[in-house]
A and B are shown apart, each in its own frame.
Chain A
Amino acid sequence: MNDMRLVERAVDDKELKIAADGVDVFYGDTHAIKAVDVNILDKTVTAFIGPSGCGKSTFLRCLNRMNDTIDVCRVTGNILLDGEDIYHPKVDPVQLRAKVGMVFQKPNPFPKSIYDNVSYGPRIHGLARNKSELDEIVEKSLRRAALWDEVKDRLTAPGTGLSGGQQQRLCIARAVATSPEVLLMDEPCSALDPIATAQVEELIDELRERFSVVIVTHSMQQAARVSQKTAFFHLGELVEFGDTSQIFTNPKDPRTESYITGRIG
């Protein structure tokens, strides 16, 4: 196995999807994110790496305003999605989250059937006019998450009864079902075994054709395998951001080099 094989993928001049500019995040008195600028491109996988507690998950949660649910959290700076400020008072965070979907660290299927898990988003957003359209969306989403063949005969079975890897793919199908433009993944493989991890990574690579994917990961091999762009966070600062191949072969910042060679972290 050549884990550290770097995938040389052409990063064309893709459209800018999310532009973060001078973002600061405070948890009460703690300054968790310090003046971070990142540009996330469409149809690209961007990986956030860095040691635990460096703020990469916090920053990810800023991108769909999940931090709003935490009382003490305060975000300043600009985050533009397709050129529009997502923290503008006119923006409805609920609508935003339909456009910027999220997959969490631990698989969290709802205690409902597989079908109801996937159709949850389309239902609350009214994306299907009738039952057959909804069926179509569910099938399409499950196919995209590479889960359809495994569950097509038991769509009414509870989602919590699937294996860990299947649950995580179900959560991805659930997020894909609302047709988001950006998919945020917060360490999606950290609770999975190597085989399930490989399946999810393959899936992420396929999802890139339609969405912009942002993934937080602790595994540098994973970042190298699935991403085209990599951002390295350290102590709340964005240390380095660039093409994945460049970050892993020719890091500009000594801290990045120390981290990817295992000296800090």
Chain B
Amino acid sequence: MPLIWIILAVLALGAAGYVLGRKRAVSSAGGDIRILHSLPNYYGMNVFLTAVVPALLVLVVWLLVQPTVIQRQVTQLIPDNDIMESGELSLIMSDVRRVADGLDRAVEQGALSREEARMIRTEFTNIRETLASIGVALGDDVNADVLAAAQRYRALQSAGNTVMAAAVLILAALGLGYAYSRTHKDFRARNTVERAVLSILILASTIAILTTVGIVLSMVLETRDFFHLYPAREFFFGTEWIPSFEGGSHLGLLPLLWGTLYITFIALLVAVPVGLFSAIYLAEYAGRRMRGIAKPMIEVLAGIPTIVYGLFALITVGPMLRDYFAEPLGLGTSSSSVMTAGIVMGIMLIPFVSSLSDDIINAVPQSLRDGSYGLGATQSETVKQVILPAALPGIVGAILLAASRAIGETMIVVMGAGAAATLSLNPFEAMTTVTVKIVGQLTGDTDFSSPEALVAFALGLTLFAITLGLNILALYIVRKYREQYE
């Protein structure tokens, strides 16, 4: 039974349960819903949830566990010398899975009858050709061991699926029956549903947290592998980045970190004054109508995909900076430069800074403005001496959030600053950042056991640590600021 049918059947049971439960509750109250403890819908909902939720949970767990169990069973059938021959167990297992899937598909398409698929033998049939004729390509001729394993795999899989369907449906029916039998006018269905809602909410947040933990863990594990292959000292303090897949690479973090920080610095140099001043204008000076037009227009900038900013850097800003600044000043001939990426990234960050700062400035109480105006201060004096100091922690928080965004940016750097890892002070020279190199090391043909590929995880973890630190600092500052007025 395909998965979708199982789910639909469970939902149908749940829906039936909803109708039955509701009806039973109403009839137990003699048709007068005022006697019921909860509204009739809650009784229906209770039956629905009791039928559906446990069944679907079992389904999910089953789907996660079954492949591991089957894999373990099937692996025992593969003789050791086969593993020696092809080098890796995982390669054989993927062949096994492919043969099994191919046979299933052949049955589906009618190329083989169910019986033929089950009895097929390497001695009599060329399985590779049979499967190729229905579009399943195999890298090698199928030997008897693999075929046996594949047949076992199919048998286990189909048995597992049948048992799973039965178990899930029985569980749904049991849940339905249990909740239905408990449905009575005095049953506190409302409270039960409330608890169910609570656990759904907790489940959702747990998933989010576990995902984060999982991401960090996977990076930590890969990074550990990297540091087994490459000395940590040379990674953190190396000043050269020369990866070479033949070995003997220099994988120093410093040029990449320098590029990242340099570009971020220039981006903030652009974004902070422009964003902050436009926020001050919008919050303090602009009339209602101007604000209504200007604020959404600035926020449009935030909706532009970074690849489009990258194009802007590549075809407009880069050549312009080269022709009008870098070449006349004798600072370089490259249109990819730190300056290009920094300026364009700064433009991208303007709405970030301005929109957050605008909110923060608006949160400064009107009474402080009145107090300042009442003493005969002008608007700019009020902004400079009262509003900005009051809003400063929040603004710093906004800037730090923008900085962590800039550090994580990739596309604009690839297209604006190039991919050459250099340690240089010249802002018109091509440089690159940590993120670009992560992409560079992992795309293309890579061997995931070499330090040249694994270094990407170490870079990712470093980046994660930096932006996490900045975000925590920003949140801490913003929270401290909030306490002042509440």
Interface residues of A (CB under 8 A from B): 64, 66, 69, 71, 94-99, 101-104, 106, 108-112, 120-121, 124-125, 160, 171, 174-175, 178
Contacts and interface: CB of A to CB of B under 8 A. Distances in A.
- The interface centre, meaning the residue of B373, B375, B378, B389 with most chain A CB atoms within 10 A of its CB, is B375
19 contacts: A66-B370, A66-B374, A71-B287, A96-B376, A97-B376, A99-B376, A101-B375, A101-B376, A104-B367, A104-B370, A108-B365, A108-B367, A110-B385, A112-B389, A121-B376, A124-B376, A124-B385, A174-B371, A174-B375
Which secondary structure dominates chain B's binding surface?
A: helix
A111 B389 CA distance: 8
B374 A94 contact: no
B484 interface: yes
A127 B154 CA distance: 93
A178 B375 contact: yes
A28 B390 CA distance: 32
B196 interface: no
A72 to B, nearest CB: 10
A106 B367 contact: yes
Given A120-B385, A124-B381, A124-B385, A108 B371 contact: yes
A104 B374 contact: yes
Given A108-B365, A110-B390, A111-B390, A69 B373 contact: yes
Contacts, number: 73
Contacts of B376: 94-99, 101, 121, 124-125, 178
B288 interface: yes
Contacts of B331: none
A124 B374 CA distance: 12
B interface bracket (residues with beta carbon within 8 Å of A): 20 to 34
Contacts of A95: 376
Contacts of B287: 71
B377 interface: yes
Interface in B347-382: 365, 367-378, 381
Contacts of B389: 110-112
Given A97-B373, A178-B376, 13 more contacts: A64-B374, A66-B370, A69-B369, A69-B373, A98-B376, A102-B375, A104-B367, A104-B371, A110-B389, A111-B390, A120-B375, A175-B374, A175-B375
Rank and list the top 7 A-B pairs by shortest CB-CB distance, nearest first.
A98-B376, A102-B374, A108-B367, A97-B376, A121-B375, A108-B371, A111-B390
A116 B371 CA distance: 14
Nearest to A121: B375
Contacts of A98: 375-376
B142 interface: no
B328 to A, nearest CB: 45
Contacts of B288: 71
A110 B374 contact: no
A110 B386 contact: yes
Contacts of A71: 287-288
Given A111-B484, A120-B385, A94 B377 contact: yes
Nearest to A107: B367
Contacts of A104: 367, 370-371, 374
B367 to A, nearest CB: 4
- The interface centre, meaning the residue of A99, A103, A110, A125 with most chain B CB atoms within 10 A of its CB, is A110
Contacts of B375: 97-98, 101-102, 120-121, 124, 174-175, 178
Contacts of A110: 368, 371-372, 385-386, 389-390
Interface in B379-402: 381, 385-386, 389-390
A158 B367 CA distance: 17
Nearest to B484: A111
Contacts of A124: 375-378, 381, 385
Contacts of A106: 367
Contacts of B385: 110, 120, 124
